[in-house]
Amino acid sequence: MQRRTFLQTLAGAGILGSLPLARALAAGATALSVDDLPPLEGELTLYLGRGEGGLYENVLEAIKKRNPKFTLNIRRGVTAALANTIVAEAKAGVRRADIFWAVDSGAIGLVNDAGLARPLPADLTGQLKEGFRYDNWSPVTGRIRTLPYNTQKLSADKIPDSVMALPDSGLSIGWAPAYASFQSFITAMRLLEGEKATAEWLKAMNKRGKNYAGELGVVMAVERGEVDVGFANHYYTLRLKAGKPDAKVDLAFSKNDAGCLVNASGILALSEGALPINFIRYLLTREVQSYLASEAYEIPLVAGVSPPEGLPPLASISPPQMDLTRLADLRPTLDLMRSVGVL
């Protein structure tokens, strides 16, 4: 969906829907349209983790324009810092945020584990695909860990099925250990494989891996041929290829390990009432999910919305089963990475 079309659709005056929300849900709709939702009226404060180059901001602006009786106050910051702020404010007896939209589910887990998230109704969580339904928070869009590789230097069948085998593969490898998504990946590895195996993997990788500041840098290095393969969320490769169709890079996937973990951005309600819940409903609409899939190349997590172009269906990939809120346990990961000299 083109940006202009999305903004025009979402920001049109009034709610024109022919189906009330209850009827739309009862009809077994997959992704609802904004036309099926009640108008937003009142005031909310959103704590917004930075992400996706302003595309989340475009969504918020469109929602505000569509709902003239709705006031949205936004506090922007690094996702992890905002999560810590919410917890600290709660300990001080203060609640300034009504909603928290995080670019990483680990930060959501931190707030949820502190007992601050409000339960979500079953009709909302039921719109999400199986495996992404949680009682107290809603994933918004997904991102899968991938192994981008240089198509001039090797083919996908030359890449091991397990990320644990990569240090001994003989391939040159790019990574970004200081990057938040990479650290969530290592947290998943630590939970799936154990502390000892993860420490040994990090030590071996530290001798072979070439460091980059971020995962876009990893993908660009792979495309230039500086390294054979790298670690990155899927959308960096898809965005590069969208701007450079002849780019010498493609995606490979490991099998049933942290290397193909599907993580998610997520949102939770911190205050009571219908308004925070109905705001969350807007982020799960067909229009918003389609926009983030086409513009940000993120994975829609409600049924009936097409995935970003160039990404295989999730059903053809074998990610590990994991409660994403467990990724909040980041401190042991950072301690481990520091102890082996990666950070």
What's the pTM?
0.85
Q: State whether 51 and 25 are in the same domain.
A: yes
Of the two residues 61 and 303, the one the predictor is more confident about is 61
HEC per residue, 189-222? HHHHHCHHHHHHHHHHHHHHEEECCCHHHHHHHH
Q: State whether 224 and 326 are in the same domain.
A: yes
| pLDDT, position 8 | 55
Q: Between the CA of residue 257 and those of 187, 193, 219, 247, 321, what are the distances in Å?
A: 12, 9, 21, 27, 9
Of the two residues 6 and 96, the one the predictor is more confident about is 96
Task: Give per-residue pLDDT as tens, 30-77.
Answer: 789 999 999 999 999 999 987 555 788 999 999 999 999 999 999 999
The DSSP result for 19-87, as a single string, is S-HHHHHHTT-SSPPGGGSPPP-EEEEEEEE--GGGHHHHHHHHHHHH-TTEEEEEEEE-HHHHHHHHH
Q: State whether 305 and 327 are in the same domain.
A: no
Side-chain-facing half-sphere of 190: CA atoms under 13 Å: 21
Report the range of poorest mean pLDDT among 3-7, 139-143, 155-159, 176-180: 3-7
Q: State whether 119 and 10 are in the same domain.
A: yes
Query: What's the mean pLDDT in 246-265?
Result: 95
| pLDDT, position 53 | 56
| pLDDT, position 3 | 41
pLDDT bin (cut points 50, 70, 90) of residue 181 is confident
Q: State whether 235 and 330 are in the same domain.
A: yes
The answer to whether 187 and 333 have CB atoms below 8 angstroms apart is: yes
3 state DSSP class of 242: helix
CA dihedral 75, 81, 87, 89 (to 10 degrees): -50
* 143: β partners: 263
pLDDT bin (cut points 50, 70, 90) of residue 4 is very low
Q: State whether 55 and 91 are in the same domain.
A: yes
Q: State whether 210 and 325 are in the same domain.
A: yes
The answer to whether 116 and 87 have CB atoms below 8 angstroms apart is: yes
Q: State whether 216 and 335 are in the same domain.
A: yes
Q: State whether 226 and 329 are in the same domain.
A: yes
Report residue 335 CA to chain centroid gap. 24
pLDDT bin (cut points 50, 70, 90) of residue 18 is very low
| pLDDT, position 125 | 93
Full residue range of the structural domain in which residue 177 is found: 144-261+318-339
User: Domain holding 176: CATH number?
Assistant: 3.40.190.10
Question: What is the average pLDDT value for the chain, to the nearest integer?
Answer: 89
What's the domain count of the chain? 2
Q: Is the pLDDT of residue 196 over 70?
A: yes
Report residue 68 CA to chain centroid gap. 29
Q: Is the pLDDT of residue 16 over 50?
A: no
- Give Dmax (Cα) for the chain: 61
3 state DSSP class of 109: helix
Contacts of 302-310 with C-beta under 8 Å, sequence gap 24+, read: 302/30, 302/31, 302/127, 302/128, 302/129, 303/30, 303/31, 303/127, 303/129, 304/29, 304/30, 304/31, 305/30, 305/31, 308/235, 308/238, 309/238, 310/238, 310/241, 310/242, 310/251
| pLDDT, position 39 | 96
| pLDDT, position 131 | 87
Highest mean pLDDT among 12-16, 23-27, 256-260: 256-260
Q: State whether 118 and 138 are in the same domain.
A: yes
Report the range of poorest mean pLDDT among 16-20, 120-124, 151-155, 165-169: 16-20
The answer to whether 86 and 47 have CB atoms below 8 angstroms apart is: yes
Task: Give per-residue pLDDT as tens, 205-243.
Answer: 999 999 999 999 999 999 999 999 999 999 999 999 999
Q: State whether 334 and 212 are in the same domain.
A: yes
Q: State whether 41 and 105 are in the same domain.
A: yes
Of the two residues 4 and 318, the one the predictor is more confident about is 318
pLDDT bin (cut points 50, 70, 90) of residue 312 is confident
